[in-house]
Amino acid sequence: TTDEMRARVKEIKEKLGEDLFIPGHHYQKDEVIEFADATGDSLQLAQAAAETTASFIVFCGVHFMAETADILTNESQVVILPDMRAGCSMADMADIHQTERAWEKLEKVFGDSMLPLTYVNSTAAIKAFCGKRGGATVTSSNAHKMVEWAFTQKERILFLPDQHLGRNTAYDLGVPLEEMAVWNPITDELEYDGDPSNVKVILWKGHCSVHEKFTLGNIEQLRRDKPEMKILVHPECTWEVVQKSDLAGSTKYIIETIEKAEAGSQWAIGTEMNLVNRIIQQHPDKEIVSLNPNMCPCLTMNRIDLPHLLWALESIENGETINRIQVEQDVAQQAISALNKMLEHA
C-alpha cells in the first residue's frame, strides 16, 4: 500500500542518513517531493549536485538533470534515476550527429563568428560539444546573463535546443526577430529569408511539448473572462505567448512571484501541472488557475513516482544499485567546462 511504501522510504532515508541525497525538480509529483532533500529549478539542482558529498544521489527529475548531476559530482558518487524512461522530449530534439552536421554547414556561412550555447535540457554530448568550442550551458533562470556573456565572446550565437527560450531571451536583450534564424535539424537547412550577414542568433528548431500547449487562444479567453487576472508563464512558451503574458521566468521565479503576491490577487500560470497544482494548494488566499484549463502534465517527469523512488532506494539498501547514470569520461570532461561557465555566472 501507499502507506507501507512511504514508511519504507522513510526508513531507508533514516538508515542512509547523510550518505543519501534526493534532489527533486519542481515538476515532480507530490508523492515524490515529500521525500526530496532539496527542491529547485534546474539551476538550483545543478548547484546542489555540485555541492553534495553524499555517496548516493537519487535524482527525482529527468535524464539530462541526472547526467548533469553525474558530471558535477566526483567519480565515487553514484547518481541514480529512479525510472530510465524519464527523458525529456525537448532534449531528444537535438542529437549530437545532427548538431555536428549543422555546425559544419553553418561554419560555411558564418565562419568562426559563432558561439554555441545550450539549454541544460540537452544531452551530455551536446553540452560537451558546446564546452569544446568555448560555449556554455544556460538555464531558464540565467539565460539572459549567459546570452549577454556569449555576445562578449562572439558575434553570433547558436542556441540549442529550445527555440522559444532562445528567442524570448535574445528578444529581451534587444535582438529583433529579423536578426534570428532557425536551424531545422530535419531538413538540415537554415530557415531565414534575408541576408545571412544580418543574423545574430541561430535558434535550433526544438521545443517543449508541455509549454507549447499554452496558446494565444488561452490568453485571449482569459483576458475576456478575467481581465484582472495576471498571466505568468515559463519562457519555454512561444514568443507570442510570452509577449502577451504579464511575466515570464523559471519555475523558481514563478514560485517566488506567487509567494510575494498580495492576498486576493488573481493569477493564471503557464507551466507544468504538478507545479501549478502545488502552488494552488499552497496559496488558498489567492485565486490561481492553469493558463490552459486542461492542465498540462510532463509525462516523462511523471514517470518518477513513489514505487520507482522506493525501488531505487531499496537497490541501494541491497547493495546492487539500479539505473546508475554514468556519463563517459571524455564527454564529461568537455561538458564540465560548459557547465562551469554557467555556474560561474550564476
Q: Which residues are annotated as a binding site for [4Fe-4S] cluster?
A: 88, 208, 298
For residue 138, what is its C-alpha cell?
Answer: 544556460
Measured from the CB atom, is 140 or 337 closer to ligand 13P? 140
β-strand 247-248 against 201-204: which pairing, if any? unpaired
Measured from the CB atom, is 134 or 297 closer to ligand 13P? 297
Q: What is the DSSP string of 43-105?
A: HHHHHHHHH---SEEE-BS-HHHHHHHHHHS-TTSEEE-S-TT---TTGGG--HHHHHHHHHH
Q: Are 191 and 184 in contact (CB under 8 A)?
A: yes
Measured from the CB atom, is 121 or 323 closer to ligand 13P? 121
Give the shortest CB-272-to-ligand SF4 separation in angstroms. 5
**How far lies 39's CA from each of 25, 42, 74, 77, 191, in Å?**
6, 10, 21, 20, 39
Asked if 122 touches ligand 13P (CB under 6 A), the answer is no
* Interface positions, 207-266, toward ligand 13P (CB under 6 A): 208, 236, 250-251
Measured from the CB atom, is 47 or 113 closer to ligand 13P? 47
Give the shortest CB-11-to-ligand 13P separation in angstroms. 30
In the set 208, 232, 331, 332, which binds ligand SF4 (CB under 6 A)?
Answer: 208
**Beta-bridge mates of residue 188:** none
Asked if 42 touches ligand 13P (CB under 6 A), the answer is yes
* Interface positions, 271-310, toward ligand SF4 (CB under 6 A): 272, 298, 300-301
DSSP state of 290: E
Give the shortest CB-235-to-ligand 13P separation in angstroms. 8
Cα(26)–Cα(301) distance, integer angstroms:
10
What stretches of the chain adopt beta strand conformation (E)? 20-21, 23-25, 38-40, 56-58, 78-80, 114-119, 136-138, 156-160, 180-184, 189-191, 201-204, 230-233, 247-248, 266-270, 287-290
Q: Are 338 and 128 in contact (CB under 8 A)?
A: yes
CA torsion angle 191 193 199 201 (round to 10)? -40
* Binding residue positions: 25, 42, 88, 119-121, 140, 208, 234-236, 251, 298
Asked if 139 touches ligand SF4 (CB under 6 A), the answer is no
In the set 22, 62, 232, 288, which binds ligand SF4 (CB under 6 A)?
Answer: 62
**Beta-bridge mates of residue 247:** 232
Residue that is written with C-alpha cell 527560450 in the block: 165
Residue 41 interacting entry, from ligand SF4, ligand 13P, none, C-beta within 5 to 8 Å by type: ligand 13P
Span interacting with ligand SF4, options 51-59, 86-94, 171-179, 191-199, rule CB under 6 A: 86-94
CB neighbour burial string for 75-97, b if at least 16 within 10 angstroms, e if fewer: eebbbbbbbeebbbbbbbbbbee
Measured from the CB atom, is 70 or 236 closer to ligand SF4? 236
Measured from the CB atom, is 36 or 316 closer to ligand SF4? 36
Measured from the CB atom, is 275 or 312 closer to ligand 13P? 275
Measured from the CB atom, is 72 or 199 closer to ligand 13P? 72
Give every strand in the sheet of 56-58, ordered side by side: 20-21, 56-58, 78-80
For residue 187, what is its C-alpha cell?
Answer: 531538413
Q: Are 233 and 291 in contact (CB under 8 A)?
A: yes
Number of residues engaging ligand SF4 in binding (CB under 6 A): 13
In the set 28, 39, 73, 139, which binds ligand 13P (CB under 6 A)?
Answer: 139
Asked if 67 touches ligand SF4 (CB under 6 A), the answer is no
Asked if 83 touches ligand SF4 (CB under 6 A), the answer is no
Give the shortest CB-282-to-ligand 13P separation in angstroms. 17
* Contact residues: ligand SF4, CB under 6 A: 62, 88-90, 121, 208-210, 236, 272, 298, 300-301
